Structure 1
């Protein structure tokens, strides 16, 4: 089969189109003919940083975590899927698990689900990593009917999904963005847009919550922005973040009695820990897509397998609106 291999870590030109052996399916696995794969920030980090990241694969490697495709073979013990099923998931591209930048990949059956019926392969491929991350963070934070929820970075990959899921859970959703395009997407997806460039945290908390703060803050920006999340949160509120690799003064958390939930969705893949939970979440996400509550946003630029490097560049440029997807 054809695959985009990296033989070294570094710039986006490290990808090489190569003929490699088609993988064989093992017990508990399915062989998927890949139709599309999306690019996540973590994919670009692995390519650039290599072994500085503990989750990076040994070389040569096939990257690409998210995918959608068609089951071509099922391994021993797999009864949830059959040949011809259209599936999606986040099931490789790190550690010792080859990824989706190839014509075929083998996936743990626990990490995948039937793709949403109403979604294209490209739309389905855009969803797994960001969808699981958003769903996990919101459910751990206990988002429920009538709560006021703030999503930081609502036009980004995780953020645009998080605000739609929070809305589907019955919350009153607000979201920050930094420009006209970002705020237009946020509003289009059903949240109240907040321009963080023009409006201070104090100002938008006063405007939208009467100064009380938000019941849940989902922070897909994280890092130093967590201080803004703490400021925006109500007393005894829940804060979920996808980026917490930062040294931070937690004093504001203490005096508000806040709870902090750190989401690192790669744990099941990396540690073979409760992988079946990802399959269940993907099933729930598919239901939300098919009932019209969730729409994955795909960037208008289309890339082929051979253009994987260009797809990485487009994501890191900051010019993408929605997920960057590669058609295989």
Structure 2
């Protein structure tokens, strides 16, 4: 099979299209013909070698944890899926090597859910990691009916899903930090835009009135945004970060590193089919152009998702 792989850590130029052996399929695994693979910030961080202290890494290393595709074969213990089924998955394994930037990937059935039927493979491939991250962060913050929620970096891959899911989960009001150029985009998702940076607590206070604070804060940026979060939230235990565990815990908040969950992923797919959640794909790239996708992702300011396709 063809796959994007690296043999040394570094910039986007270390990614190349290589011919690799087809994956093995264990008893409880599914062999997937990949149609789309979402590009996430963790992918370029793995490429740079930043996660070597968290996971064993092996080369040649194929990046990617998101997949949407078609089942080609199943192991003998698999009962949920059959050849020809369209599936999605957040395929984070215990070792970093056999990722989803490939024509084929094997994945344990517990990582997978059925692909939503109302969208194409590109949109479906952009859902798993970002959607699960958004959902698990909001739940970790204890989002409740009637809450006012603030999401940092609300126009990005996780952020644009988090603002929609906050409404689905019962938030009365959703505010998102973003550039002024993303005001209309956030409005289309049901969120109120507020400019990030210096003076954010004051701008939020003017927007919400009362004590000037919100019930829940989801930080997807770190740095200044996370520092400001403790000023923005009424109860420090209800601010969550996916970026900086040490700082958010020191501030009394919670840290979330997304975990695979097939039931949650299936529910997110159902929300898409019900028209209550949409994955916005800013741009797709052929698999061979993964390096260019990484360059764009690493620059930041992506609206929604970047996705690789094998078509």
Which interval holds the TM-score relative to the shorter structure? over 0.9
Partner residue in 1 for 2:302: 320
Q: Are residue 304 (structure 1) and residue 297 (structure 2) matched? A: no
Q: CA 1:41–1:109 in structure 2 vs 1: closer, same or farther (change >3 Å)?
A: same
Q: CA 1:231–1:319 in structure 2 vs 1: closer, same or farther (change >3 Å)?
A: closer
**For structure 2, which runs of at least 5 residues remain unmatched after alignment?**
none
Q: Are residue 280 (structure 1) and residue 273 (structure 2) matched? A: no
Per-residue CA deviations over 1:207-229 (Å, capped at 9, x if unaligned) read 31412521111111224422211
After TM superposition, where is structure 1 displaced by more than 6 Å over at least 4 residues in a row?
Answer: none
Partner residue in 2 for 1:260: 253
Shift of 1:92: 4.2
Tell me whether 238-247 or 106-115 shows the greater mean CA deviation. 238-247
Partner residue in 2 for 1:292: 275
Per-residue CA deviations over 1:268-312 (Å, capped at 9, x if unaligned) read 5xxxxxx5xx1011011011111111111101x321111111111
TM-score of the aligned structures, taking structure 2 as reference length: 0.92
Q: Are residue 66 (structure 1) and residue 66 (structure 2) matched? A: yes
**For structure 1, which runs of at least 5 residues remain unmatched after alignment?**
254-258, 269-274
Q: CA 1:244–1:144 in structure 2 vs 1: closer, same or farther (change >3 Å)?
A: same
Partner residue in 2 for 1:130: 130
Per-residue CA deviations over 1:127-184 (Å, capped at 9, x if unaligned) read 1111111111111222122111111110111111111000111212333334233222
Shift of 1:97: 4.8
Q: CA 1:56–1:179 in structure 2 vs 1: closer, same or farther (change >3 Å)?
A: farther
What CA RMSD, in Å, does the superposition of the two structures yield over aligned residues?
Answer: 2.1
Contact 1:151 1:163 in 2 (8 A): yes
Contact 1:224 1:248 in 2 (8 A): no
Alpha-carbon distance in 2 for matches of 1:298, 1:248:
30
TM-score of the aligned structures, taking structure 1 as reference length: 0.88
Contact 2:219 2:242 in 1 (8 A): yes
- Give 1:222-241 correspondences, 5 Å limit: 222-235=222-235, 238-241=238-241
Q: CA 1:20–1:315 in structure 2 vs 1: closer, same or farther (change >3 Å)?
A: same
